[in-house]
Amino acid sequence: MQKRPIALITGTSSGFGMNASVALVKAGFYVIASMRDLEKRGPLDKIANLHIASEHMEVISLDVTRPAEIEQAITSIIERHGRIDLLLNNAGCAYGGFAEEIPPEHWRSQFAVNVFGLIDVTRAVLPHMRRQQAGRIINLSSISGRFGFPGLSPYAASKHAVEGFSESLRLEMLPYHVYVSVIEPGSYRTPIWEKALQTQQPVPDSDSAYAGQMKLLRQHVESIMRSAPEPDAVISAIVRAATSPAPRFRYPVGRSTVLMLAAKTLLPWRWIERLVVKKLSPSSHRAD
């Protein structure tokens, strides 16, 4: 039987999930790193081989949108290890564009992964943590779970749902000594934003009523991708939430996140509206 606490992480083929897998092994966990497509495990294997002992990690296939796979994976983990001490819900995707033009399948796919997949994995783990009278559930949210940026309405809506679910679940599970936390990063260097750009604007720009705004939004996201820091601060927050004797509910990460949350709390909403709308207004960016 594994002596280290058992951590299950979803979405570990890249980004936060990949880096958190290695960091949590270093923090003393036995990590079960899951991903939808095992053919994409190469980057995780490479970083793991450089930094940790292989006996402290295993990689499994898990598509969080398939309930049968979730049930099979959790059953297998319990049979082999007897418990799950930490669940890190990291699997996610981002669809961009303006709400009117985003097709229904993108909305449904966004919620299938970011919301219903997260809920299904969590519900599968809860009976075991409740019986253990101990456990940690860490949900990867975003600044978009606290502020709805234009051009990212599916992603923002999904992360707002994660925040609400997590808040209710935190209060439900505290009597069983199960702590629920959310990590709220700003913009960091991970593949999710590049993928979001690739899915933006299914309507050709020339036919779009939002062409000018979309052009500015793309430029803004591309600028963020170029200047965004590495995800070290996010990984540190995950480790703190996983190892603290009494973890907080919310972990906002990054100076821009803290400033945005402060602005939303302290400034009149009309001021924020004007600033955001002006930034995405093509007329305000025209040369004199």
Contact 30, 6 (CB under 8 A): yes
Specify the amino acid at residue 100: E
- 155 as an active site residue: the answer is yes
Checking phi first, is residue 148 left (phi over 0); if not, alpha (psi -120 to 50) or beta?
Answer: beta
For the chain, the first-to-last Cα distance in angstroms comes to 71
Q: What is the DSSP secondary-structure string of 118-150?
A: HHHHHHHHHHHHHHHT-EEEEEE--GGGTS--T
CA-CA distance, 282 to 278, in Å (whole number)? 8
Query: How big is the CA angle at 137 (ends 64 and 156), to the nearest 5 degrees?
Result: 60
Distance CA 1, CA 80 (A): 8
CA angle 4, 136, 185 (to 5 degrees): 110
* DSSP assigned state of 97: B
- Set 30, 95, 155, 210: catalytic member: 155
Residue 282, helix vs strand vs coil = helix
CA distances from 270 to 25, 40, 90 (A): 46, 45, 34
Do 253 and 233 touch, CB atoms closer than 8 A?
yes
Annotated catalytic residues are: 155
